[in-house]
Amino acid sequence: MKKLILSTAIVLGGLTAATAQTTDKEPTAMNEQKQTAVEAQVESRIDAAQDAETAVVAEPVQDYKEVKTSEVPQTVQDAVTKDFSGATISKAYVNANGEYKIQLATADKKAATVYANAKGEWIKNDMKKQ
C-alpha cells in the first residue's frame, strides 16, 4: 500500500512538473489529454488497491458449538454423501451464522474437516473429493 501511495505521489508530482514546463499560459489540448489519461489510471489503481484491501475472503466463523450428527440438516448430509463417497460424519458443530463444521471419517480411517452452510454448499474443505 505504501508503494502505491508513493507511486501515486510521484506520478502526480510529475504531472505538476510537466504542466509547469509548458511555455503557454494554458496547457495544450495534448497535455490535457495526457493528464486526464494519467489521472484516470491513477484513480483506477487506487480504487483497485482499496477494493483488494476491503475484499473479504469467506472464512467460517470460529465460534462453533457441537451438535448431534442427527441434527445436521439433510441437505448437508446429502452433500457429504454425494461429494465424499464412503465418508461419514463423525462430529458436527454449528455457529451463529448457521454454518456447519463437519469432521469426516473415511473408510480408510482418514479424517478431514469440511465447512458447509445449511443449504449444503461448501464454504471450505480440507479434503479432496473422492
Q: pLDDT by residue (tens digit) across 39-61?
A: 666 666 666 666 655 554 455 45
Separation CA 69–CA 48 (nearest Å): 44
For residue 12, pLDDT beyond 50: yes
Contact between 11 and 42 under an 8 Å Cβ cutoff? The reply is: yes
List of residues 6+ apart from 75 with CB closer than 8 A: 118, 119, 120
Confidence (pLDDT) at 17? 61
Task: Enter the pTM of the model.
Answer: 0.49
> 3 vs 75, which has greater pLDDT?
75
CA distances 53 to 43, 107, 108, Å, are 15, 42, 42
Contact between 92 and 102 under an 8 Å Cβ cutoff? The reply is: yes
